[in-house]
């Protein structure tokens, strides 16, 4: 079973904010897979179903982003889902609108919601789908920028962005994350060198 977590803030006033792009991706996935995300669990809205024969749970935490780990931990524990089977979808102000990256371990990406999940799960070994939302002219105003809606010009490409993010998530359900990174990250998957074990010959 896979747990797909969309990042966002609960409430209608945040619905079209840049920070709620994760919720929008989960909504697209749910709509296309006929999964309604409306079951209320502790600090969460979830939906259960199948995508390409894979059992999935779609999660829209109803906490704010800075404490998102609470709801993720509760649902993952309740349904006995391993950390490696969690996929989160998050906004990224370091990427232009429309660009996507797929992270796993050794990620240098910093986000208060990711930090909350890592602290709650005691691990960072989950997939992170980073969806570009553009960046503010003044970095000091990033929080304010994330609570703004997309511009009219940006809205013209948001549907394509959401569809691309859905394709990334669906590929993660059935392929090793390295394959997904090779397809969607310009730099490909991080190459992890295996440690060479030195053999010691024991004389008898």
Q: What is the pLDDT of residue 64?
A: 83
Q: Is the separation of the CB atoms in 34 and 49 below 8 Å?
A: yes
DSSP string covering 44-84: EEEEEEEETTEEEEEEEESS-GGGHHHHHHHHHHHTT--GG
Domain range summary for the chain, segments of one domain joined by +: 2-184
Rounded to the nearest 5°, which phi and psi values hold at 187? -90, -5
Q: What is the pLDDT of residue 201?
A: 59
Q: What is the pLDDT of residue 191?
A: 65
For helices 152-174 and 21-33, the axis angle rounded to 10 degrees is 60
Instruction: Round to whole Å and give the CA distance between 60 and 97.
Output: 22
The answer on pLDDT for 195 being more than 70 is no
What is the average pLDDT across 10-33? 93
> Using one digit for the tens of pLDDT, what is the confidence trace for 112-161?
899 999 999 999 999 999 999 999 888 889 889 999 999 999 998 999 99
What is the average pLDDT across 171-186? 93
pTM over 0.85: yes
Looking at domain 2-184, does it have CATH number 3.40.50.1470?
Answer: yes
Instruction: Round to whole Å and give the CA distance between 49 and 33.
Output: 8
């Amino acid at each position: 079973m896979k747990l797909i977590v969309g990042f966002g803030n609960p409430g209608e006033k945040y619905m079209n904010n840049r920070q709620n792009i994760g919720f929008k991706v989960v909504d697209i996935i749910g709509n296309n897979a006929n999964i309604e995300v409306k079951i209320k669990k502790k600090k969460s809205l979830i939906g259960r179903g199948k995508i390409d024969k894979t059992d999935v749970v779609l999660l829209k935490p109803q906490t704010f982003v800075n404490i998102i780990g609470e709801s993720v931990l509760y649902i993952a524990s309740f349904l006995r889902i391993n950390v490696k089977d969690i996929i989160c979808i998050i906004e990224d102000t370091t990427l232009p609108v429309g660009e996507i990256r797929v992270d796993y371990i050794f990620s240098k990406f910093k986000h208060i919601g990711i930090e909350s999940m890592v602290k709650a799960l005691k691990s960072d070994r989950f997939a992170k789908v980073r969806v570009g939302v553009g960046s503010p002219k003044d970095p000091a105003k990033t929080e304010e920028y994330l609570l703004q809606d997309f511009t009219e010009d940006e809205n013209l490409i948001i549907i394509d962005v959401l569809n691309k993010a859905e394709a990334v998530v669906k590929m993660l359900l059935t392929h090793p994350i390295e394959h997904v990174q090779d397809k969607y990250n310009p730099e490909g998957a991080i190459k992890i060198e295996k440690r060479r074990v030195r053999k010691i010959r024991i004389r008898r």
